[in-house]
């Protein structure tokens, strides 16, 4: 008898590996070849992202001294991501996962290399950075929902919470190391060197894609069951309360939290702490160090029941950490506050993403994740608003405003939303067809 899609062990995962992971704990996910290669590729891809962030942000601010333009260059990326992400979700549900992943990272590799060459020849031009941001947004529109969809294809469902935590820990590790490397590469080789390194990381990611197993065309046909379209994903999000609620909560990150981590730090490094690229690298690395610790804590809480309360508590403390950073008078105090913010952000991010993933049926995963990945398009919107706000009221006041909004949202949602306040992991696993103890 054919099992329902949400109840099956992922078709690419052998029963022996699933049983091994279940019996010996979440960290034994690393002994599953598919997951270990996936984690490696996702971590290296994150390194490329942070090298790009530190290069573009510092170069734009160094050329213009404008927070508005700093936000605008990131906004260019969102134009492509917001426009293409829902369409990308439909394509992900229809086409070979491996072929689509390879095409996506080949695109990112080529544009990184080409723009590295452009910066070597014309380092003072601003417009190529806007064009690169737009083209990289096209790749991001496909890469983000693809990786989320693939994760559920290669991970036993009952270990999804720990798998997401480990993947986000790798992301936090690269957020810690990547900006520091990027800052020193700016000093040694200039922005072009960062783009060449970024191209090399995408080449390595393409090698990892060859190593982890993915569902065959026949298996994906059984899971998707129909060609479907964007409307199917939208209808599900609108009609499913848990998915809708956690999707809305995920918008807090790109609009009010992430701008404090990618748009405002260059301004803090230059104007508040009177430093250079190395100071910027230190601030961004502090966020990453906190995120690494938060990721390991989240992985250890793999079967923690009150996920909704945990999510809101982390969000509240994250808001308080940002407020404390706004009042920091010294670099080391600001770094500690950002480390705490990175810690609580990781707890919030992993619990939110786990809740979202468990609420989506396999046959709609690509289309729904395409909608979810619109968050990536909202990040530059938040960056633009933060950059303009920093020009108008200063970076400290902008951080204070954003941190206050985050804390207020956490309190308001706790008081008004039973969906989140009463959310339990075991119930979500049961609804998705997985046993929490398996």
- Reply yes or no on whether the pLDDT at 97 is more than 50: yes
**Residue 152 falls within a domain, yes or no?**
yes
Over range 189-214, report the average pLDDT.
83
Mean pLDDT of all residues in 324-332: 91
Cα–Cα distance for residue pair 115/134, rounded to 1 Å: 12
pLDDT digits (tens, 9 = 90+) for 360-411: 777 777 777 777 777 766 777 787 788 889 889 999 999 999 999 999 999 9
Apex CA 108: angle with CA 368 and CA 216, to 5°?
50
- At a CB cut-off of 8 Å and minimum separation 6, what does 132 contact? 56, 111, 115
Is residue 20 scored above 70 in pLDDT?
no
**How many CB atoms are closer than 10 A to CB 13?**
21
Which residue is listed with tokens 């920091």?
Answer: 328
Q: What is the reported pLDDT for 222? A: 46
Handedness of CA 126, 128, 130, 132 (dihedral sign): negative
Q: Would 136 be classed as within a structural domain?
A: yes
Q: How far is CA 45 from CA 55, 233, 288, in A?
A: 16, 27, 15
pLDDT above 60 (res 156): yes
Binned at pLDDT 50, 70 and 90, residue 71 comes out as low
Looking at residue 214, which CATH number applies to its domain? Answer: 1.20.1250.20
pLDDT digits (tens, 9 = 90+) for 117-129: 887 777 666 777 7
Report which listed range, 70-84, 85-99, 116-130, 137-151, is most confident.
Answer: 137-151
Tell me if 2 is assigned to some domain.
Answer: no
Q: Percentage helix, strand, coil, to 5, in the chain? A: 85, 0, 15
CB 48 within 8 A of CB 104: no
Residue 4 falls inside a structural domain: no
With a pLDDT cut of 70, the percent of the chain lying above it is: 83
Instruction: Say whether pLDDT at 98 is over 60.
Output: yes
Q: Which residue has the higher pLDDT, 325 or 84?
A: 325
At 4 the three-state DSSP class reads coil
Per-residue pLDDT, 124 = 65
Any domain includes 257: yes
387, 347, 360, 313: which is closest to 168 by C-alpha? 347
For residue 176, being part of any structural domain is answered with yes
Beta carbons of 163 and 27 less than 8 angstroms apart? no
Give the integer Cα–Cα distance in Å for 38 and 27.
Answer: 14
Q: Can you give the residue range of the structural domain that contains 33?
A: 13-432
pLDDT of residue 377: 65
Identify the three-state secondary structure at position 329. Answer: coil
Split at pLDDT 50, 70, 90, the class of 412 is very high
Residue 308, pLDDT above cutoff 70: yes
pTM here is 0.73
Q: Give the total number of structural domains in the chain.
A: 1
Residue 3 resides in a domain: no
Answer for the pair 214, 154: CB distance below 8 angstroms, yes or no: yes
pLDDT level of residue 324 (50, 70, 90 thresholds): very high
In a domain, 438, yes or no: no
């Amino acid at each position: 008898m054919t099992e329902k899609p949400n109840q099956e062990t992922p078709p690419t995962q052998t029963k022996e590996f699933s049983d091994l992971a279940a019996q010996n704990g979440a960290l034994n996910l690393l002994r599953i070849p598919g997951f270990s290669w996936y984690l490696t590729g996702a971590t290296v891809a994150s390194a490329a992202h942070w090298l790009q962030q530190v290069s573009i942000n510092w170069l734009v601010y160094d050329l213009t001294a404008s927070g508005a333009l700093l936000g605008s260059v990131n906004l260019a990326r969102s134009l492509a991501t917001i426009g293409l992400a829902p369409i990308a979700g439909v394509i992900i549900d229809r086409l070979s996962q491996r072929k689509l992943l390879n095409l996506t990272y080949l695109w990112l590799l080529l544009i990184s290399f080409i723009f590295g060459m452009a910066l070597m020849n014309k380092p003072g031009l601003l417009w190529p950075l806007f064009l690169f941001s737009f083209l990289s947004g096209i790749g991001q529109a496909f890469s983000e929902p693809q990786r989320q969809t693939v994760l559920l294809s290669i991970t036993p469902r009952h270990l999804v919470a720990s798998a997401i935590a480990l993947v986000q820990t790798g992301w936090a590790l690269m957020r810690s190391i990547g900006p520091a490397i990027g800052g020193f590469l700016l000093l040694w080789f200039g922005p072009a060197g960062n783009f060449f390194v970024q191209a090399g990381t995408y080449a390595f990611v393409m090698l990892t894609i060859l190593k982890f197993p993915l569902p065959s065309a026949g298996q994906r046909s059984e899971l998707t069951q129909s060609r479907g379209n964007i409307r199917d994903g939208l209808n599900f999000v609108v009609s499913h309360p848990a998915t809708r609620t956690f999707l809305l909560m995920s918008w807090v990150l790109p609009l009010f939290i992430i701008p404090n981590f990618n748009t405002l730090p260059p301004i803090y490094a230059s104007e508040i702490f009177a430093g250079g690229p190395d100071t910027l690298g230190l601030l961004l690395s502090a966020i990453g160090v906190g995120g690494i610790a938060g990721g390991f804590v989240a992985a250890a809480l793999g079967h923690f029941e009150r996920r909704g309360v945990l999510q809101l508590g982390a969000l509240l403390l994250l808001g308080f950490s940002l407020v404390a950073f706004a009042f920091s008078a010294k670099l080391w105090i600001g770094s500690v506050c950002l480390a705490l913010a990175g810690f609580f952000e990781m707890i919030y991010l992993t619990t939110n993403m786990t809740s979202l993933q468990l609420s989506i049926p396999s046959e709609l995963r690509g289309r729904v994740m395409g909608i979810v990945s619109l968050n990536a398009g909202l990040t530059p919107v938040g960056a633009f608003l933060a950059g303009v706000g920093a020009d108008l009221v200063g970076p400290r006041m902008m951080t204070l405003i954003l941190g206050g909004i985050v804390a207020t949202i956490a309190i308001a949602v706790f008081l008004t939303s039973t969906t989140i306040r009463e959310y339990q992991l075991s119930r979500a696993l049961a609804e998705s067809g997985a046993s929490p103890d398996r």
